[in-house]
Amino acid sequence: MSGAGHTSVLLAEAVEALAIKPDGVYVDGTFGRGGHSRAILAALGSAGRLVAFDRDPRAIEAGRAIGDARLTLVHEPFSELDPALTRLGVEGIDGLLLDLGVSSPQLDEAERGMSFRFDAPLDMRMDTTRGQTVAEWLADASVADITEVLREYGEERFAHAIAKAIAAARTGGVVATTGQLAAIVEKAVRTREPGQHPATRSFQALRIFINQELEELSLVLPAGVDRLNAGGRLVVISFHSLEDRIVKRFMRDQSRPPQLPARLPLRAADLPRPRLRLVNKAVRPGEAEVRANPRARSAVLRIAERVGEAA
């Protein structure tokens, strides 16, 4: 199932992983074009409820077309999950789904400025109603700051050379378009990775940075677990190694007992229980899905279940 211009990755696997109860309350933290949300609604009964978040105003607009009273749309980043659910009168939830990264429409709509395939304004914001564009940030950022962003979020080997080239290009005016940035990076990168445009890592890094994607993820994971009822599922689809590392470590740490001082006189039975239980191994798309949707090739789905007392 997919929304307009977007095919949801690992759709059946993600919805199955939620172990949906007909009368349960679920959160889709990344509505996109509604592929996962529609599948969740199809599995819910008349008393079920779904709250769907998205920063992109176009995603929220697309969601209004669903017209299902069980669906509540929230135009906020998923880091606002806790206060938003409080406003809506939602306490515990039975599942949280996060489909991370950028959606196909965001990449394919030239004016969003997220792809070097089009020459367009250098924007890259997921929420076009607020915040700084990449062009605005690059206009004032230091070489050191640009280098750090490209290294940290893009794992770019030539980060410093690219940052110096961007700073040099600014002497002739603002780096205002995707075409300008791609050309600057292409000249600064000395060797190419096979099958990859030289600007791939830089564009990815700047998008992740300007949208604070990793910080948002680090905020929503503990907030989501706090809201999960006992037996509720946390299901996360990652497309980038940095995202997946955060998810994997969080689930691993939350599935172990809290670390206490070594000499504390406690029996194993008296130790606090872990908050999560890992469910199955990481799931990756099959060959058929990758052939049909090449953007699925890097996807990793991880599942954990809330144990102990409900939040």
Per-residue pLDDT of the chain (311 residues; tens, 9 = 90+): 444 445 788 999 999 999 999 999 999 999 998 899 999 999 999 999 999 999 999 999 999 999 999 999 999 999 999 999 999 999 999 999 999 977 666 666 666 666 777 789 999 999 989 999 999 999 999 999 999 999 999 999 999 999 999 999 998 888 999 999 999 999 999 887 787 889 999 999 999 999 999 999 999 999 999 999 999 999 999 999 999 999 999 999 999 877 666 666 655 555 678 999 999 999 999 999 988 888 888 899 999 999 976 44
Residue 152 included in any domain: yes
Residues 269, 280 within the same domain: yes
Residue 118 has a pLDDT of 78
Residue at which a domain ends, from 159, 179, 210: 210
How many domains does the chain fold into? Answer: 2
> What is the domain extent for residue 180?
128-210
- Per the CB < 8 A criterion, the answer to whether 89 and 109 are in contact is no
Q: By the 8 A CB rule, do 75 and 61 touch?
A: no
* Alpha-carbon 69 to chain mean position: 26
Do 12 and 86 lie in one domain? The reply is: yes
In total, the chain counts a number of residues equal to 311
Q: Which residue matches tokens 């996962």?
A: 36
Residue 231 assigned to a binding site: no
Does the annotation flag 95 for ligand binding?
no
Q: Report residue 8 CA to chain centroid gap.
A: 13
Q: Is 34 known as a binding-site position?
A: yes
Distance separating alpha carbons of residues 220 and 209, to the nearest angstrom: 17
Q: Residue 81 belongs to a domain with what CATH number?
A: 3.40.50.150
Q: Is the same domain home to 143 and 59?
A: no
Residue 116 lies in a domain: no
180 assigned binding-site residue: no
Please indicate, yes or no, whether residues 222 and 86 belong to a single structural domain of this protein. Answer: yes
In a domain, 235, yes or no: yes
- Picking from 210, 226, 258, the residue at the C-terminal end of a domain is 210
- 51 inside domain: yes
Tokens of 200: 């791939």
108 is annotated as contributing to ligand binding: no
Cβ-contact 214, 153 below 8 angstroms: yes
Q: Is 28 annotated as a binding residue?
A: no
Contact call for residues 12 and 2 (beta carbons, < 8 A):
no
- 188-215 burial, b for 16+ CB within 10 Å, e for fewer? bbeeeeeeebbbbbbbbbbbbbbbebbe
35 is in an annotated binding site: yes
Q: If we measure between CA atoms, which residue out of 123, 133, 112, 2 comes closest to residue 58?
A: 112
